[in-house]
Amino acid sequence: MSLVKLQGIRKSYGSNEVLKGIDLTVNEGQVVALIGRSGSGKSTLLRTINGLEEINGGALEVDGEMLRPGHTNLRALRMKVGMVFQQFNLFPHLSAIENVMLAPVVVKKQNKAEAREVAAACLAKVGLADKEKSYPDQLSGGQQQRVAIARALAMQPRVLLCDEITSALDPELVNEVLNVVRKLAEEGMTLILVTHEMRFARDVCDNLVFMHGGKIREQGEPEQLFAAPATAELSQFVGSVAFH
């Protein structure tokens, strides 16, 4: 069953059109990676899905919540779409558990005791049960990113967007974050990732979407896409990325 549905999404910055009509369907429980060179529009596309980037044309739907150009009330949509950022963006004045509790208390009006329980469970899920009271600057990059994942999970989103979530990490910290994502995928969470980790994309994703010049150029199962790229752009891209 389709959970996220994009139809003819267009987005311009001034006269520069960065998304030129994107159609994409993501089913419940699917793990989809957006790949492509920088500047291909993949991050912008991801950010339109929870309304961080306003769209200029087309429509998108997440679990029944519609978004069209000019929509300003995004709260209902955002409660269904979680997001994790490259730079973590944890709230530095709050401890790990307070970071995770904040939105459930403020946005969902959960009472604090209940929110704390949910937050503790989310932190345990990402392997940080012992770091509840730590502040972001006392945590490593990998730990911070895992808190950020817990923070998104605490809102119980239907789909989680991950925007190059390992790109700002030291190499030795990448795996602890990817393992959390892998576990979420196994549990059936719907995930849309922008990633440069090709090996991870190949191993974990059900579907790869290759973007080029603001359009979807190819999509399909990872093995098939990597083994037999149909377009010159993709075969060039596959040749240029290392499978580390």
Partner 1 sequence: MLSFTFWDILSNLLLAARWTVLLSLIAFVCGGVVGLLVLLARVSRSAVLRKLSGYYIEAFQGTPLLMQLFLIFFGLPLVGIEVTAWLAAVLALTLFTSAFLAEIWRGCVEAVPRGQWEASESLGMTYFEQMRHVVLPQALRISIPPTVGFSVQVIKGTALTSIIGFVEVTRAGTMITNATFQPFLVYGLVALIYFVLCFPLSFYAKRLERRLHVAR
Stretch that binds partner 1, among 98-106, 122-130, 192-200, 219-227 (CB under 8 A): 98-106
Residue 134 binds to partner 1 (criterion: CB under 8 A): no
Residue 244 binds to partner 1 (criterion: CB under 8 A): no
The amino acid that residue 48 corresponds to is T
- Binding residue for partner 1, selected from 31, 67, 79, 150, defined by CB under 8 A: 79
- Residue window 13-52: x/- pattern of binding to partner 1, with contact defined by CB under 8 A: -------------------------------------x-x
Tell me how far apart the alpha carbons of residues 32 and 26 are, in angstroms, rounded to a whole number: 7
- Binding residue for partner 1, selected from 7, 89, 175, 219, defined by CB under 8 A: 89
Q: Which of 36, 40, 33, 62 is nearest to 49 (CA)?
A: 62
Task: Report DSSP state, residue 53.
Answer: S
SS (H, E, C) 190-207: EEEEECCCHHHHHHHCCE
Q: Output 83 or 198, the one with its CB closest to partner 1.
A: 83
| 84: Cα separation from own chain's centroid | 6
How far is residue 165 from each of residues 33, 52, 182, measured CA to CA in Å? 12, 17, 13
Tell me how far apart the alpha carbons of residues 87 and 83 are, in angstroms, rounded to a whole number: 12
Q: Output 121 or 241, the one with its CB closest to partner 1.
A: 121
- Binding residue for partner 1, selected from 92, 124, 140, 228, defined by CB under 8 A: 92
Residue 60 binds to partner 1 (criterion: CB under 8 A): no
Contacts to partner 1 from residues 210-229, by CB under 8 A: none
Residue 103 binds to partner 1 (criterion: CB under 8 A): yes
Residue 160 binds to partner 1 (criterion: CB under 8 A): no
How far is residue 190 from each of residues 6, 113, 159, 210, 238, measured CA to CA in Å? 15, 28, 5, 19, 25
Positions in the binding site for partner 1 (CB under 8 A): 50, 52, 74-75, 78-79, 81-83, 85, 87, 89-93, 102-103, 106-107, 135-137, 148, 151-152, 155
